[in-house]
Amino acid sequence: MSRVGQAIINIPNGVEVKKVDNKFLVKGSKGELNAPLDETVDVTFNEKEIKVELKDKNTKNKAIWGTTRALINNAVKGVSVGFEKEMEIVGVGYRGALQGKKLTLNLGLSHPVEIEVPDYITIKMDGNTKFIISSADKQKLGEFAAMVRSKRPPEPFKGKGIRYSNEFILRKEGKKK
């Protein structure tokens, strides 16, 4: 049995859910999202909770059951509370700035790195070296944060680069004299 799949999803106040064809639509204060539904699962809901049930119990369907439930849960949580990732820039002279919908990063390169921020992402700068990326869609948030981090990933000798705030960088010793 899938432990994730059998858990019931509670619907917070102010969130509307409906099922259309093979998609589960969720609407709330942070926006509108949809989650794909597989034909091997059956989704039932009322005003307070969502239940995802399995039609045929074989190994592949159990995995899809848990995944479908997690996608619906992420959509419900995203439109009600939202998701965020805290990031920090580490290094002498490394800094970032937000100008409208453009994130400008000075990362020790010969040119500043400019990144267009999509409409579904919001960035809040906390000084020059810390920023919070937030969105209702967990997957798109993770993709954007990974793309920003890829501009200068943390290196193992001095730890310079862009990293998640809770990320641990395994440091190497370096050369001995």
pLDDT digits (tens, 9 = 90+) for 87-128: 999 999 999 999 999 999 999 999 999 999 999 999 999 999
More reliable by pLDDT, 139 or 62: 139
CATH at 76: 3.90.930.12
Task: State the helix-helix crossing angle for 138-150 and 59-80, rounded to 10 degrees.
Answer: 80
Give pLDDT, residue 2. 58
pTM of the model: 0.89
Cβ(75)–Cβ(26) under 8 Å?
yes
Give pLDDT, residue 1. 53
Cβ(14)–Cβ(80) under 8 Å?
yes
Range of the domain at 120: 83-164
110 located within any domain: yes
Same domain, 105 and 148: yes
Q: Specify which residues 18 forms β-bridges with.
A: 25
169 located within any domain: no
Where a domain ends, among 49, 80, 111? 80
